[in-house]
Amino acid sequence: MSFTLAIVGRPNVGKSTLFNRLVGKRLALVDDQPGVTRDLREGEARLGDLRFTVIDTAGLEEATDDSLQGRMRRLTERAVEMADICLFLVDGRAGITAADQGFADILRRKNAHVILGVNKAEGRAGEDGALEAWSLGLGEPLRLSAEHGEGMDDLYRVLVPLSDEFEARASDYAPVTDVDVSEEETDEDAVPVPTRAKPLQIAVIGRPNAGKSTLINRIIGEDRLLTGPEAGITRDAISVAADWQGTPIRIFDTAGMRKRAKVVDKLEKLSVSDGLRAVRFAEVVVVLLDVEIPFEQQDLRIADFAETEGRAVVIAVNKWDLVEDRQEKLRELKEQFDRSLPQLRGAPLVTVSAATGRGLDRLHDAIISAYQVWNRRITTAKLNQWLGAMTEAHPPPAPGGRRIRLRYMTQVKTRPPGFVLMCSHPDQLPESYRRYLVNGLRDSFDMPGTPIRLTLRSQSDKNPYRAKKKSTPSRLRKHVGKPIKT
């Protein structure tokens, strides 16, 4: 990456639409209502032969207090300071407002390289706004249409002279990119070690106001994500790259997930969908609970979704600093966990305090442990030795008087561990016996908590050559059925 470009401007001028246009994917949420974007979202942008980091910011508000709008403004101003170039976007159809004039003065003081872009300038409707933009004193305005891709060649010509100036700085800047990360299967016995090129993917999910953004800020050591007492602040699934106790990670902050019946707003539906997408990209999912109301129905649904998607799961209970009788509370939490989530039996349960940072070392160790189990591979020889002992201790049932025979087992994949069991009459093997085998795998090979996929396949006892008729030699075919002369 040669430089970083921050897109700033008033709410609803098309910043997120332009961001999606530059990165080539619909990463940022886009809606007609203003103020959709609240956090800083970074992505890998491509424009011609230019490669750079683009930052989508919250709409600049005139509030400067500690309200939500004021905190959003401070976060945007921080992006302006850290960016090499600022693209100040105005609405060509709405014209230049007093707020645009004030923000232009701020940008001149905070950033040396400011590009003025007039969005929604396609056709005659945007001509007046483009001419009026000269009054901001930021040089020649670029007429753009983020929705239709117009004006991208003009933006390219402006950025090319600036790219060489910042190319040397790019080697020292580690960008945080929101890119689709697909699972990669490995046939090696060794657990892959996270690197800067392939960091450990972690998603933090939970109900609204559980403290997800606060926890991630504490992990990365800076106020990178917008936080506050209001529930539902986070809307986009924002990923942040960091080095956590020597482990390169990319951690996803997601929107709070309420019960489906309560989600009626279109924007909230988009936010939840974006969070579910982050879970599918993650390797380890941290289900964050509120210690005051843990293991409610929605928490169980969220944890079950992570297990269904085949992710390594860690249960973290936040706001532990508010608990007085901690030993009794911890015992109660473990009982609730074992009773409510049997499909995640043995998964790590960690108590943390995002406000004070207590328990983050235990959370790190639990995530690494869950990741290693998620990548574990068992040799076929050990599996079949174990299978013999399991069937000897508890033979499979005999429906209709014919016992189901378990032939052999092998592991076909990791992430999560997947096994194939060859047997007779797989469709008649009861679910209880399948659970018996899965729980045995967890206990015998130290795989607590991780999802285990067990597939049954049929193997016939029949001789494949028994049904074939022996062919008669051609020299004897004319004598078949006739008496033999002696």
pLDDT attached to residue 456: 93
Residue 251 pLDDT more than 60?
A: yes
**pLDDT band at 176; cut points 50, 70, 90:** very low
The percent of residues in the chain predicted with pLDDT above 70, rounded, is 85
Q: Find the mean pLDDT for residues 280-287.
A: 93
Write down the pLDDT at residue 267. Answer: 65
- Lowest mean pLDDT, pick from 371-380, 382-391, 425-434, 467-476: 467-476
Mean pLDDT value across residues 28-34 = 70
Q: How confident is the model at residue 370 (pLDDT cuts 50, 70, 90)?
A: very high
In our burial notation (b when 16+ CB lie closer than 10 A, e otherwise), range 18-51 reads bbbbbbeeebbbbeeeebbbbbbbbbbbebeebe
SS (H, E, C) the chain: CCCEEEEEECCCCCHHHHHHHHHCCCCCCCCCCCCCCCCCEEEEEEECCEEEEEEECCCCCCCCCCCHHHHHHHHHHHHHHHCCEEEEEEECCCCCCHHHHHHHHHHHHHCCCEEEEEECCCCHHHHHHHHHHHHHCCCCCEECECCCCECHHHHHHHHHHHHHHHHHHHCCCCCCCCCCCCCCCCCCCCCCCCCCCCCEEEEEEECCCCCHHHHHHHHHCCCCCCCCCCCCCCCCCEEEEEEECCEEEEEEECCCCCCHHHCCCHHHHHHHHHHHHHHHHCCEEEEEEECCCCCCHHHHHHHHHHHHCCCEEEEEEECHHHCCCHHHHHHHHHHHHHHHCHHHCCCCEEECECCCCECHHHHHHHHHHHHHHHCCCCCHHHHHHHHHHHHHHCCCCCHHHCCCCEEEEEEEECCCCEEEEEECCHHHCCHHHHHHHHHHHHHHCCCCCCCCEEEEEECCCCCCCCCCCCCCCHHHHHHCCCCCCC
What are 114's strand-pairing partners? Answer: 86
| 266-286 average pLDDT score | 84
Of the two residues 464 and 85, the one the predictor is more confident about is: 85
- Determine if residue 15 is labeled as part of a ligand binding site: yes
Give pLDDT, residue 441.
94
416: amino acid identity, one letter: P
* 58 labelled binding-site residue: yes
Q: In this predicted structure, what is the pLDDT of residue 445?
A: 94
Is 119 annotated among the ligand-binding residues? yes
Beta carbons within 10 angstroms of residue 143's beta carbon: 20
**What band does 122 get if pLDDT is binned at 50, 70 and 90?**
confident
Phi (first) and psi of residue 200, to 5 degrees: -70, 125
Q: Name the band, by pLDDT with cuts 50, 70 and 90, for residue 192.
A: confident
Does the pLDDT of residue 463 top 60, yes or no?
no
pLDDT at residue 332 is higher than 60: yes
Q: Is the pLDDT of residue 45 over 80?
A: yes
- Supply φ then ψ for residue 308, to 5 degrees: -65, -35
What does pTM read for this prediction?
0.78
- Confirm whether residue 57 is marked as ligand binding: yes
User: What is the distance between the alpha carbons of residues 409 and 217, in angstroms, rounded to a whole number?
Assistant: 45
Q: What is the pLDDT of residue 470?
A: 56
| pLDDT on residue 175 | 44
358 annotated as a binding-site residue: no
Query: pLDDT: is 139 or 482 the higher one?
Result: 139
Exposure class string for 422-457: b at 16+ Cβ within 10 A, else e:
bbbbbeebeeebeeebbebbbeebebebbbbeeebe
Is residue 16 part of an annotated ligand binding site?
yes
Query: Which range is least confidently modeled, 139-153, 205-219, 434-448, 463-477?
Result: 463-477
- Would you say the C-alpha torsion 327, 331, 336, 341 has a positive or negative sign? positive
- 111 annotated among ligand-binding-site residues: no
120 belongs to an annotated ligand binding site: yes
| Annotated binding-site residue? 209 | yes
Residue 141 marked as a ligand binder: no
The number of CA neighbours under 13 Å toward the Cβ of 79 is 33
Is residue 483 predicted with pLDDT exceeding 70? no
Asked if the model's pLDDT at residue 66 lies above 60, the reply is yes
121 annotated as a binding-site residue: yes
Domains of the chain: 3-173 (3.40.50.300), 200-259+267-375 (3.40.50.300), 380-462 (3.30.300.20)
At residue 347 the predicted structure's pLDDT band, cuts being 50, 70 and 90, is: very high
Does 248 count as an annotated binding residue?
no
Q: Averaged over 64-76, what is the pLDDT?
A: 79
Of residues 472 and 273, which shows the higher confidence score? 273
- State mean pLDDT over 101-117: 85
Count the Cβ atoms, other than its own, within 10 Å of residue 74.
14
Is 386 marked within a binding site? no
Encoded tokens for 418:
């997947």
Q: Is the pLDDT of residue 38 over 80?
A: no
State yes or no: 56 annotated in a binding site. yes
Single-letter residue type at 64: T
Percent of the chain with pLDDT over 90: 49
- Do the beta carbons of residue 188 and residue 55 sit within 8 Å? no
Annotated binding-site residue? 11:
yes
Is 198 marked as binding a ligand?
no
* Residue 122 annotated as binding site: yes
More confident residue, 478 or 19: 19
What local confidence, expressed as pLDDT, does residue 83 receive? 87
Confirm or deny that 438 is annotated as ligand binding: no
Q: Is 79 annotated as a binding residue?
A: no
Low-confidence winner among 108-122, 327-341, 373-387 (lowest mean pLDDT) = 108-122
pLDDT, position 262: 61
108-122, 321-335, 463-477 — which is least confidently predicted? 463-477
* Average pLDDT over every residue of 269-277: 81
Please tell me whether 105 is known to bind a ligand.
no
Q: Is 138 annotated in some ligand binding site? A: no
CA distance 355 to 321: 8
254 is in an annotated binding site: yes
Can you tell me the mean pLDDT for 342-350? Answer: 91
Confidence of residue 99 (pLDDT cuts 50, 70, 90): confident
Provide the pLDDT confidence category of residue 177 given band limits of 50, 70 and 90: very low
Q: Is 212 annotated as a binding residue?
A: yes
The pLDDT tens digits for 438-454 are 999 999 999 988 999 99
Question: Is residue 414 marked as binding?
Answer: no
Comparing 79-83, 203-207, 257-261, which segment has the lowest mean pLDDT? 257-261
Cβ proximity of 204 and 289 under 8 Å: no
Checking if the pLDDT of 157 tops 70, the result is yes
